[in-house]
Structure formats: C-alpha cells, structure tokens
Structure 1
C-alpha cells in the first residue's frame, strides 16, 4: 500500500515593495501632481548612476500613483527626464545671479558666472550630461530642446550681457558679442564636461582649476583683441618678451 502523499505548505510570497500611499487628488490638482512627479524624478536622477536606472515605475512608486498617471502628464520617459533637467537648470539662473552680485567689475563678473556654471555642473553631473552631452529627442523646428531654451533664457543671457559689458569697458573689442560668448562658454563647458567624464584625472581642487581655465580664456581673448585680433603663436612670443622686458 502506497504511502499517503505529504501535503507541503506553499512558500510564503515575498512582501510587496512598499509604496507611498497618496490621497486621492482633488479637482484642479493636476499641476500639483505634475510638480510632484518632477520633484520625485529629480531626486531619483540625482542618486541614480544614470537616467536609464530611473524607471517610470520607480517614479510612480515614489509619488504614490500608478504608472499610467505619469503618462497623463508626460508622453514618455524621455519627455519626463527633459522636463526634470530643464527644471534643474532653471536653478542655475539663481546661482549665477548670486555669484555675479559679488563682483563689481565686468571681467570679474564674467569669471564668477563661469565658475558658478562649472560648480553647478559638478553638483548636478547627470543632469548636466543629459542637458549638454546627449542628443535631445524632443526638439523644435531648429533642433533646440526645452532644456536649450531654459539655458538660452538664463545662463547664456547672463554670459552675453557680461561680455557686452566687457566690450563697453574696453576689455574686449566691440563686435560680435554672441561669437565671443560662445567661445567663452565653450571654455566653461569644456572644463566642466571633462571633470564630469574624467573625474580620476589629477585635477587638484576642481574649482581652482576651473577658475584658472576661465581666467586664461578671458585674458587670452582680451590680449588677442588688444593686438588686433589675429595673434599667431609668434606674435604671442614677441608680446610676452616685451612684457618681460618691461618688468
């Protein structure tokens, strides 16, 4: 006679991942929910290794809603991430204004703006990478994203206004302020992106190094303008020799 079958108890299921309990939204609170989604994504993006590690499900759990609720406000994850980065970069405006208030002269203010820009990038590396080193998926007719518009209306505006002030003060030759702003912004972006991409290089104190780079770029442009705007390496050698002799 066969042994009776032994009934085994089922293995208890793992407890579900705790999620925030959210009260039912009141009428007209759509903008508040959107702001909460952006804030939660901002926090997740700040601690994640990259944007790929931030999922819609994780955002929904952090806010306390279902994933479909996210899609009521954003067409897809890329649109959400871009909105978050644009929101973060709006904060750059305040950081640059605060830095510029400490400088009375336009050249000092230009370097202060540049240093505030680099510091902001270093404090928000993933946001900065998405904003300036990734191909945007949502653009307008000229290829600009919402993030680009935020930068144009804040950081870039401050840079160019200060370049124009340097021209008015005779530090730079009056001319195409837009071209000069792009050149000096390239210096700020270059050192910021390198420090983010290659943090293992022997930078020393990063802000000190960044400040040296920014001052060198601004001074180099001023000297080049002083010498007619077309200095060659030989011209630089002769100019430096005269400066040393004058000491």
Structure 2
C-alpha cells in the first residue's frame, strides 16, 4: 500500500530557515527511531516534513550533507553536558578531566548511530561535524589539561597534543563498544572510569621520568613507589 506524502502549506517568505530546521528534526527522528542511516532516505524525510524531495535539496546538496548537519547540530549539545560535568566535579582539575571523559562516553552511547556517522567514517577538514566536536568536546578537554599544567600536576608540554591523547582514549572506548558490543566490556561507564584513571594518572607520574629512562627503569621506579606506599 502506497502512502501519500503529507501536504504542507506553502511557507511564508523568509521562512526558509524554519523549513531547514524542520528537515533536520525529521531526519534526526528517523535516525533515532531506526538506529540506521540506511533507513533514512530523502523521500522519507520529505514525507515526514510534508514537502517534496526536491525541497530537501534546496537546503542540502545530498543525503550525506543532511546527515552531517544532523550530527553537527546534535553534538553541539555535548558542550552543555561537558560543562555540567565540570561543575559537578568541583575544583580539582584531575576530577574535572575524569568527569568530562565520562560525560563524553555517556553522551556518545545515548545515540550510537549518530556518533558512528559523526566520528567513525572518513572526515574532512573544516566539516560541520568537526567544528561542533571541536567546540563541544576538544575545547573542554584542552582547558582541563591546561589547568593541570598550570597547577604543576601535568608536566609542561603541548596541551593540544595531550588533549588529543585523552580524546583518543574516550573515543576508542565508544568506538569499540559500538562496533563490538558482543565483547565483555561490562558497564561502559566503569570501563571509562578505569581507562581515564590510568591515562590521567600516567601523565601525572610522567613528571618523574627522565628522557634517558628505559621502559624497564620506569617500571622498576614505579614498582618501588607502589611498594613503598603499600608498606
């Protein structure tokens, strides 16, 4: 049985931005309902909005452009999530960093298909998704790293590189949990907390490393410190 598209009244002049938002809303709903980008053809989006498919192409060049816009708009919300996590964590920079890592993973796993589209396919410099992720995730991670360096907790260094390393850690957790859900991860938040604790602590203790230290010497020194504390 064929389904007739909904009829939509002609929008008043100057309301093109409103129609664009309605298209994004419809596409987001279809993605969240199906959990699969393949189940979001342009025709279905147009039908849900109540317009013809050509009307979609007036705002988005193709389906990929529409998906990118959906993901970038969604990930703008991550800014508020990470900001709230920082406030709840208190004044300790290391606690803030761990809390923001948890907030990132929690947010990403709420809608795994949007995360997969946004970060697990080939990107391009300057894309809407990269801009959204930079302002909503990376900026927060780098600010936390800079606070740790300023407090002498982290060694002096490139805060951008350190933030990218931390982002790699939380992204790796999300990517594996999404793509390999059948592995025995346990609770993703507990997994994230363990990984963030290890990564964050690793940068703290690295202040005691010398450039000439071998891996064996580093491990021996860390073992001595641990043994001394546990005595």
TM-score range, shorter chain: over 0.9
Deviation (angstroms), 1:120: 1.0
Unaligned runs of 5+ in 1: 1-13
Q: How does 1:194-233 map to 2 (within 5 A)?
A: 194-228=176-210, 232-233=214-215
Unaligned runs of 5+ in 2: none
2:59 to 69, 73, 87: 73
Task: Please say if residues 154 and 207 of structure 2, whose CA atoms lie closer than 8 Å, have aligned partners that are also in contact.
Answer: yes
Deviation (angstroms), 1:18: 5.0
How far, CA to CA, are the matches of 2:3 and 2:189 in structure 1?
Answer: 41
The answer to whether residue 127 in structure 2 is matched with residue 145 in structure 1 is yes
Note closer, same or farther for the CA distance 1:229–1:218 as it changes in structure 2 (3 Å cut): farther
What whole-Å deviation, never above 9, does each CA across 1:118-164 have from its counterpart, x for those lacking one? 1111112111111111014xx4xxx3321111111221111101100
How far, CA to CA, are the matches of 1:221 and 1:231 in structure 2?
Answer: 16
Name the SS of the counterpart of 1:20 in structure 2. Answer: coil
1:112 counterpart residue number: 99
2:26 to 40, 50, 54: 40
The answer to whether residue 11 in structure 2 is matched with residue 25 in structure 1 is yes
How far, CA to CA, are the matches of 1:99 and 1:230 in structure 2?
Answer: 38
Q: Which TM-score applies when normalising by structure 1?
A: 0.87
Task: Please say if residues 41 and 84 of structure 1, whose CA atoms lie closer than 8 Å, have aligned partners that are also in contact.
Answer: yes
Answer with 1 or 2: which has the greater Rg. Answer: 1
- The structure with more helix, counted as a fraction of residues: 2
Q: How does 1:58-207 map to 2 (within 5 A)?
A: 58-103=44-89, 104-136=91-123, 139=124, 143-207=125-189
- Larger CA deviation: 22-31 vs 88-97: 22-31
What whole-Å deviation, never above 9, does each CA across 1:64-107 have from its counterpart, x for those lacking one? 11101101111111111100000011011111111111112111
How far, CA to CA, are the matches of 2:206 and 2:213 in structure 1?
Answer: 6
- Hey, which bits of structure 1, 4+ residues long, moved more than 6 A? none
User: How many aligned positions are there?
Assistant: 228
Q: Which TM-score applies when normalising by structure 2?
A: 0.93
How far, CA to CA, are the matches of 2:79 and 2:212 in structure 1?
Answer: 34
The answer to whether residue 224 in structure 2 is matched with residue 241 in structure 1 is yes
Task: Please say if residues 166 and 172 of structure 1, whose CA atoms lie closer than 8 Å, have aligned partners that are also in contact.
Answer: yes
Cα RMSD (Å) of the superposition? Answer: 1.6
